[in-house]
Chain A
Amino acid sequence: MRISKIWKYSLVAASLAAFAAAAPAQTVKVGVVLPYSGVGAEFAQQVDRGIQVFMKLNPKAFGPYKVELIKRDSKNPSGAEAKTAVQELIAQEKVDILTGFIYSPDAIASAPLATEAKKPMVIMNAGTAWITNLSPMISRVSFSMWHSGFAMGEASTKNLKAKTAVIGYTDYPPGKDSLDAFKRGFEATGGQVIDTIPMGGPGQVPDFTPFFQRAKGKKPDVFYVFVPSGDHAVAVMKTYNALGMRQAGIKLIGPGDLTPDYKLQGMGDDAVGLITIHHYNADLDNPQNKRFVEAWKKDYGPTATPDFMGVQGYDGMAAIAHAVVTLKGRLDPEKTLDALKGWKFNSPRGPIMIDPATRDIVMNEYLSEVVKSGGRLVQKNIGTINAVKDMCKELKEGRCK
């Protein structure tokens, strides 16, 4: 035991001496906090796979520096488990940077720890707009609910010629955010919101029938729905069709959370005609995306598909790689944030940038319609809005001041 330890140390010393002149083999520790088990397990899988695909497609992205991923399970969406995980990652694992964070409460609960311990935090999903204001250590490569919500509000009056809307939303921070964003965009362009319906929490998929029945009774032109991507979305599609809302002339619209790519084929013809706006879908036509989707299918099977969370995992890793290479493997917190501010990248979702002023992402939003083509459902692009910023912070709304 002793001898082997001495051996180990001398080996390390020898290799250090050998490489000292060249580049020191720095290991950057990245703490990844995702809900690997529980309701959010599918989301964690998406982001995790996005991270893996990035590493595989870009083996040289980190230069000579080694990256070690330390993964922790944040389990349920309450934020409590995520906070414990972050605490442990900082205190015991001594990570250099934190990433992951699917649910907004997870990011919200962890933000003070990042500030205190001065650990940069790259958010790969959590979309409540004001999260980036909670800590100077936070940067976000995913989205804010306002990116899609506000844009959808404007598109509803302009592209879809809607005059009245009912909003149904899952009752938690990003849901309220999405509600405010859509309402602001819709009413600013002459629309009128006639009812808002909270539809249960994110923890479990409710039976949407009573909420949708209420919405149907109000006879709006469009029914804007925000629910967490995944199972909620599938249930929304089903209920919308089963209650005959389409026949009643009510258009279902929403952010792309309604059409997660990996659930789309399972929704069947129910989803045809659905109009969403989002920063990514697997059908986007650009070379980066082709390469990304191809690599994904190669590793995870022909029926597997990345969705927006997958691409966020990919881009988050790209951002971290950029910081690692820029800072030569030593992630000083302030300098890391400086490196991330203004970072530009050609992502599978198109060009993206971290806004230096807000540390939030700037990206394109794609308006798309679900159509059937060649026996499968695809998202047909019917309009692109370039370089969208988080409108919540642009307009200094509520908690985004």
Chain B
Amino acid sequence: MDPVSILLGGLASGMVLFIVSVGLSVTMGLMGFVNLAHGGFAMLGGYAIVLAMRHWGVGFLPALALAFVAVAALSVVLERLLYARLYRASELDQVLFTIGLVFVMTATVTVGVGPETQVVQLPEWLRGQTDLGFIKYRTYSLALIVSGTALVIVLWLGFERTRFGARIRAAVDNRRMAQSLGVDVGRLFAVTFAIGSGLAAVGGGLGAEILGLDPNYPLRYLVYFLIVVSVGGLGRVTGVFYAALLIGVLDFVLKIYFPKGGTVFIYVLALLLLLWRPQGLFGKRGA
């Protein structure tokens, strides 16, 4: 088997992990809220894309943008009404609340749309194979690699290099101090939460080709999201990126050579990495 296509496959599977988890690295990693409903927002995003494409004939890329906006808007409502009350609650309360929210979302989608899997119809230019000159490989995998890389650059610039990002980090580290310096923490958190949920929606849509999309999506992939974010280290978008790539590539290569191990590798890898660095690969010590 040629190593290049194995590497590309591994990178693509890492990118899927990154794209679907990055929203969580914002809400849980940056804001410190144990948001187990992350997958719910991802699922809603996926459904928004599928339904918009099916009923309104919207193209794939506009549908992605639409899903981002729609889910972000919905999440602001939820954040103001529900999440905001639990920012200072115990982690257990946050867990119970967000898991409950997942059940509500799953049931709503099952009743409203049906239990069956939805297929995201990719545009022609994302299907089949692309000739890179030296190798032909799955177009969608290449697209995932490109979009994942673009996403991490944008997020890194946004959170590490802008005033907005600095405010968020300040507010998370010391809410009262940030407030007394004139930062409107409530609004800031609402916006950040909306971005995180919007990213989840985009992840749900982009990842659906590989991960599928149905009402059980949020719980099925919950473990994946949590693994990636915890291995990456809380509070670091770039950490999540590297963690996803590392796990994705290793998992892919192991599956090719030892398929008998099946789906176990990802858990074993996470376990070993966390034993080695409990704070995550790129987490701050003591964080």
The chain A residue sitting closest to B140, CB to CB, is A242
Interface residues of A in 60-92 (CB under 8 A from B): none
Q: A: which residues have CB within 8 A of B?
A: 38-39, 41-42, 45, 171, 197-201, 204-207, 209-211, 213-214, 217, 230-231, 234-235, 238, 241-244, 247, 262-263, 266-268
Selected contact of A242 from candidates B1, B13, B128, B211, CB within 8 Å: B128
CA gap between A272 and B284 in the complex, in Å:
53
B262 CB within 8 Å of chain A? yes
Selected contact of B5 from candidates A200, A206, A213, CB within 8 Å: A213
Chain A hits for B259, CB < 8 A: 197-199, 210-211, 214
Selected contact of B256 from candidates A204, A214, A235, A244, CB within 8 Å: A214
B197 CB within 8 Å of chain A? no
Judging by beta carbons under 8 Å apart, are A268 and B136 in contact?
A: no
A39-B220, A213-B1, A241-B127 known; 11 new pairs, CB 8 Å cut-off, are A41-B115, A199-B262, A201-B263, A209-B12, A210-B252, A213-B5, A235-B212, A242-B127, A242-B129, A242-B140, A266-B119
The chain B residue sitting closest to A241, CB to CB, is B128
Selected contact of B255 from candidates A171, A205, A210, A235, CB within 8 Å: A210
Selected contact of A244 from candidates B9, B16, B129, B252, CB within 8 Å: B129
B210 CB within 8 Å of chain A? yes
CA gap between A42 and B113 in the complex, in Å:
13
Selected contact of B115 from candidates A45, A198, A210, CB within 8 Å: A45
Interface residues of B in 93-112 (CB under 8 A from A): 110
Chain B hits for A45, CB < 8 A: 115-116
Chain A hits for B115, CB < 8 A: 41-42, 45
Q: How far is the CB of B102 from chain A (nearest CB, A)?
A: 14
Q: How far is the CB of B141 from chain A (nearest CB, A)?
A: 7
Chain A hits for B1, CB < 8 A: 213-214, 217
B121 CB within 8 Å of chain A? yes
CA gap between A197 and B252 in the complex, in Å:
14
Judging by beta carbons under 8 Å apart, are B252 and A209 in contact?
A: yes
Give how many B residues have a beta carbon under 8 Å from the other chain's beta carbons: 37
B138 CB within 8 Å of chain A? yes
Known: A198-B262, A242-B129. A207 touches B117 (CB 8 A): no
20 pairs, A vs B, C-beta closer than 8 Å: A42-B116, A42-B117, A171-B260, A198-B259, A199-B259, A200-B263, A204-B220, A209-B141, A209-B252, A213-B9, A213-B256, A231-B212, A234-B212, A235-B212, A238-B209, A241-B128, A242-B128, A242-B138, A243-B138, A266-B119
Judging by beta carbons under 8 Å apart, are B117 and A234 in contact?
A: yes
Judging by beta carbons under 8 Å apart, are B16 and A207 in contact?
A: yes
CA gap between A244 and B110 in the complex, in Å:
34
Q: How far is the CB of A54 from chain B (nearest CB, A)?
A: 22
Chain B hits for A243, CB < 8 A: 129, 138
Chain A hits for B139, CB < 8 A: 242
Q: How far is the CB of B124 from chain A (nearest CB, A)?
A: 11
Q: How far is the CB of A135 from chain B (nearest CB, A)?
A: 30
Chain B hits for A234, CB < 8 A: 117, 119, 212
Chain B hits for A268, CB < 8 A: 121
Judging by beta carbons under 8 Å apart, are B128 and A230 in contact?
A: no
Judging by beta carbons under 8 Å apart, are A38 and B127 in contact?
A: no
Judging by beta carbons under 8 Å apart, are A38 and B117 in contact?
A: no
Q: How far is the CB of A203 from chain B (nearest CB, A)?
A: 8
CA gap between A213 and B3 in the complex, in Å:
11
CA gap between A26 and B256 in the complex, in Å:
59
B216 CB within 8 Å of chain A? yes
The chain B residue sitting closest to A209, CB to CB, is B9
CA gap between A147 and B139 in the complex, in Å:
37
CA gap between A41 and B215 in the complex, in Å:
10
CA gap between A243 and B6 in the complex, in Å:
12
Q: How far is the CB of A247 from chain B (nearest CB, A)?
A: 8
